[in-house]
């Protein structure tokens, strides 16, 4: 992940820390997070608890602003990032889902493979489930929104790009619930589309979703011709493609731009804890 994303360089330039948790082959032969299994889709259990604890431990041992802890991932990591945002909203302030899925897109391996090929369940239903999953975390830290940025390539044959649309729709519903409103009752997002092209590389469309009263809430980047690979990678590789926009830089820019919208109030002293 460090090699394909170039995130270390972005971190050095902007003075933030990056943590790269690694799955073991004992847990998964492909070293992927098990986002498709129900026991790894909830708080205080399975891989979400391990990953949230890793973030909390770094926050406890380094000079970290607890209001600016974010989660990002690609493929299985993107799907797990969505789960972490839903199950630990008291730890993570925003999420980046790259070639991933909506929250709880599957409830087993076969369903997971199907979701990768054709998308998951109704994103509105999953959006409600994600909001319900946030309950315990929201008791520790009130949050009015969960900013989300999604990246996907149109030539991705591993994870169907429809999953990007579903992720945005799911988080749109979840954010409507967080705001205490329904999509048809006062919660409306304005969409702006910007088209661009990397010199000598791929064209892309950037969809920005903005609240009238609070600014940027979500973004969706669709990169023409990009496969199942990190966009804007420092060098070409199996999972990295330099010909797309610099996803790492854009993800950090989004986190900084959207951060002021997400927290309703500060947590009381001592409410942050290791899981």
Structure tokens, 229: 């690979």
Comparing CA positions, the residue from 138, 161, 51 lying closest to residue 86 is 138
Taking 90 as the threshold, does the pLDDT of residue 95 lie above it?
yes
pLDDT classification of 23: cutoffs 50, 70, 90: confident
Residues 103 and 33: their CA atoms lie apart, in Å, by: 14
DSSP H helices, the chain, are: 2-5, 7-14, 46-61, 76-87, 109-118, 123-133, 135-140, 162-178, 247-258
Domain boundaries, the chain: 2-261
Cα separation, 222 vs 230, whole angstroms = 12
| Per-residue model confidence as pLDDT tens digits over 128-169 | 999 999 999 999 999 999 999 999 999 999 999 999 999 999
Confidence band, pLDDT 50/70/90 cuts, at residue 185: low
pTM summary value: 0.91
Mean pLDDT of 92-110: 97
Whole-number pLDDT of residue 214? 72
- The CATH number assigned to the domain with range 2-261 reads 3.40.50.1820
Mean per-residue pLDDT for 170-194? 84
Is 174's pLDDT higher than 70? yes
Structure confidence at residue 209 (pLDDT): 96
Tokens of 29: 């032969």
Asked whether 4 and 233 are in contact (CB, 8 A), the reply is yes
Q: Classify residue 235 as left (phi > 0), alpha (psi -120 to 50) or beta.
A: beta
Question: Using H for helix, E for strand and C for coil, what is the string for 94-127?
Answer: CEEEECCCCCCCCCCHHHHHHHHHHCCCCHHHHH
pLDDT digits (tens, 9 = 90+) for 39-55: 999 999 999 999 999 99
């Amino acid at each position: 992940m460090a090699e394909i994303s170039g995130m270390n360089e972005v971190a050095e330039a902007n003075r933030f820390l990056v943590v790269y948790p690694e799955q073991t082959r004992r847990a998964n032969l492909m070293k992927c997070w098990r986002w498709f299994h129900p026991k790894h889709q909830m708080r205080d259990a399975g891989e979400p608890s391990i990953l949230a604890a890793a973030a909390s431990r770094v926050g406890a041992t380094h000079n970290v602003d607890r209001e600016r802890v974010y989660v990002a991932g690609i493929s299985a990591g993107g799907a797990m990032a969505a789960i972490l945002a839903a199950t630990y909203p008291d730890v993570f302030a925003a999420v980046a889902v790259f070639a991933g899925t909506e929250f709880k897109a599957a409830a087993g391996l076969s369903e997971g493979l199907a979701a990768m090929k054709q998308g998951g369940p109704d994103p509105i239903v999953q959006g409600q489930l994600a909001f319900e999953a946030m309950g315990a975390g929201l008791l520790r830290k009130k949050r009015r929104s969960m900013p989300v940025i999604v990246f996907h390539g149109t030539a991705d044959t591993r994870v169907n790009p429809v999953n990007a649309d579903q992720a945005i729709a799911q988080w749109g519903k979840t954010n409507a619930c967080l705001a205490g409103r329904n999509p048809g009752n006062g919660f409306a997002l304005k969409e702006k589309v910007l088209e661009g092209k990397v010199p000598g590389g791929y064209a892309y469309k950037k969809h920005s979703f903005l609240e009238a009263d609070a600014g940027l809430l979500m973004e969706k980047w669709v990169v023409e011709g990009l496969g199942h690979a990190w966009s804007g990678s420092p060098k070409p590789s199996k999972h990295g493609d330099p010909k797309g926009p610099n996803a790492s830089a854009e993800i950090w820019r989004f986190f900084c731009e959207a951060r002021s919208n997400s927290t309703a109030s500060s947590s009381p002293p001592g409410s942050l804890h290791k899981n």
